[in-house]
Structure 1
Amino acid sequence: MSLSSHVEELKKKHQILSEQVEVAQRAPGTDDLEISELKKQKLRLKEEIERLSVDA
Structure 2
Amino acid sequence: MHPPDPVETARQLEALRLEHRDLDDAIARLSANPLCDQLRLNRMKKRKLLLKDSIARLESRMIPDLDA
> What TM-score, normalized to structure 1?
0.92
Q: 5+ unaligned residues in a row in structure 2: which ranges?
A: 1-6, 63-68
Q: Percent identity?
A: 29
Determine which structure has the larger helix proportion and give its number.
1
**Secondary structure at 1:2 match in 2:** helix
Runs of 4+ in 1 over 2 A off after TM superposition: none
Aligned residues: 56
> What TM-score, normalized to structure 2?
0.77
Q: 5+ unaligned residues in a row in structure 1: which ranges?
A: none
Aligned match of 2:22: 16
Give RMSD over aligned pairs.
Answer: 1.1
